[in-house]
Amino acid sequence: MIIGLLKEPAFETRSSLLPEHIAPLKKLNVDVIVESGAGEKAFATDDKFKEAGATVVSRQDVLQKADLLLAINPIADAEVAAIQSKVVIGFFQSLSNYNLIHVLSKNNNTVFSMDMLPRTTRAQSMDVLSSQANIAGYKAVLLAANLYPKYFPMFMTAAGSIAPAKVLILGAGVAGLQAIATAKRLGAVIEVFDTRPAVKEEVMSLGAKFVEVEGAADASKAGGYAVEQTEEFLQRQKAKIAESVAKADIVITTAQIPGRKAPILVTKEMIEQMKNGSVIIDLAASTGGNTDFTKNDETVVVNGVSIVGNSKLAGSMPSDASKLYGKNILNFLQLIVTKEGQLNLNFEDDLVLGTCVANKGEITNDRVKQLIG
């Protein structure tokens, strides 16, 4: 079997594999072909891939010769039609890019979208959402610290004392928890809001205060995502968040709902109450954002508050992001490729079944099927 690594679009800095992932794949008795330049933005040269045992070829050769294709982002429409009877693995966000899945399935391809992986204990080593969100949470705090016109930690000097920055983090999933840990290391005072009471202990263990709102819908089985809440709860939530936002110097928002627009958590009225020079980092920007003003991949300033919509923070650390993503992919490949280098798709395995969105011409994920209609 031949595994093909595609170069990502110009905006993407990450690669699905690095040279260090090639040797374990060779042990599975598969050949790996790499599109020239696939790893260059992650500081992995063609020569390094060759030294690791891969063959560097053109994009056309990868698309034609590979039995299994690896890509992070959706493949260009002009190329999708030519992909026939292959296995395609990527981070396709299938509930948003369902038309891509539809076209690939019509061409008899089997498609695995890693964002659909069940988020269970067994799946942790393959969980690309978590590995990339961890980086995003870390970088969100560093970005905020860079933009914030004051210190993060408390300072006591001969010229006077500086109070520590107050950070509010909305959402205590993987990104939120890393943001807490990073902000704490920088000396900030941190408050955290999440609709899941179960995360309170973990939040507090990291040194943050947990802001509680009673009556939340159960989100324990939502894989770290937000879930829809009752109107009564939303009003209580809004009031609590407004109190905390007014006190905060930095707000980091992370709430997303798969396949739907992100919930608005920080309203125009709340932003108007924030101090001049405050910063909001919105990690939900790609799905509409958690504020009334968020624009994806842009920074806007409203009443002196900088609102950063950045959905590509993981890509700002391309070497480690690719290292972790590649390890996730390698672990998944070891699940579906035998030691003899043969594909073995066991759909009785919940991880294989959950991640597969199309198989040999059939849409296998019910939510994707409903969206296609």
CA angle 216, 219, 221 (to 5 degrees): 155
- 286 and 208, same structural domain? yes
Active site residue 185: no
Same domain, 165 and 303: yes
Angle at 10 (CA atoms; ends 136, 306), nearest 5 degrees: 40
The pLDDT, as a whole number, for residue 227 is 67
At 311 the pLDDT is 87
Q: Are residues 181 and 308 in the same domain?
A: yes
Kindly state whether residues 91 and 113 are assigned to the same domain: yes
What DSSP state is assigned to residue 291? B
β-bridge pairing 110-113 and 87-90: parallel
| Residue 124 annotated among the catalytic residues of the structure | yes
Residues 44 and 54: beta-carbon distance below 8 Å: no
Boundary of a domain, candidates 316, 333, 350:
316
- Shared domain check, 274 and 142: yes
Residues 365 and 347 in one domain: yes
Q: How many angstroms separate the CA atoms of 70 and 58, rounded?
A: 15
Q: Which two tokens stand for residue 267?
A: 């309203």
CB 252 within 8 A of CB 179: yes
In a shared domain, residues 194 and 289: yes
47 is catalytic: no
Rounded to whole angstroms, the Cα distance separating 171 from 195 reads 8
Other CB atoms within 10 A of residue 363 CB: 23
Q: Pick from 171, 141, 309, 308: which is nearest to 237 by CA?
A: 171
Catalytic residue (choose from 130, 237, 278, 286)? 130
Query: Considering only CA atoms, which of 134, 150, 133, 136 is closest in space to residue 250?
Result: 150
Give me the half-sphere count of Cα atoms (radius 13 Å) on the Cβ side of residue 312: 14
189 & 309 share domain: yes
Give the pLDDT score at 221. Answer: 59
**Whether residues 12 and 157 fall in one domain:** no
Judgement on whether residues 307 and 235 belong to the same structural domain of the protein:
yes
The domain of 165 spans 133-316
Phi, psi of 187 (to 5 degrees): 95, 15
Place of tokens 């595609």: 6
Q: Tell whether 167 and 25 lie within a shared domain.
A: no
Return the pLDDT at 153.
Answer: 94
CA distances from 99 to 19, 76, 261, 288 (A): 32, 12, 18, 20
Spell out the residues 6+ positions from residue 338 whose beta carbon is closer than 8 angstroms to its own: 28, 344
Q: Which of 15, 16, 105, 127 is catalytic?
A: 127
- Number of domains observed in the structure of the chain: 2
pLDDT of 169:
98
Tell me whether residue 130 is one of the annotated catalytic residues: yes
Which candidate in 31, 225, 292, 311 is catalytic? 225
CATH code of the domain containing 24: 3.40.50.720
End-to-end CA distance of the chain: 34
pLDDT at 109: 95
Q: Is 148 a catalytic residue?
A: no
Using DSSP's 3-state secondary structure scheme, residue 369 falls into: helix
Q: Which of 64, 84, 85, 124 is catalytic?
A: 124
Catalytic entry in 113, 119, 237, 278: 119
CA–CA–CA angle 142, 143, 146 (5° rounding): 85
Statement to judge: residues 163 and 277 lie in one domain? yes
Which residues are CB-contacts of 134 (< 8 A; sequence separation ≥ 6)?
A: 174, 175, 178, 324
Rounded distance, CA 308 to CA 329, Å?
Answer: 30
Rounded average pLDDT per 10-residue block, the chain, 373 residues:
97 97 96 98 98 98 97 93 94 92 94 95 96 97 97 90 96 96 97 90 96 73 63 85 96 91 94 97 95 96 96 95 98 96 95 96 92 87
Q: What value does the CA radius of gyration of the chain take, rounded to a whole number of Å? A: 22
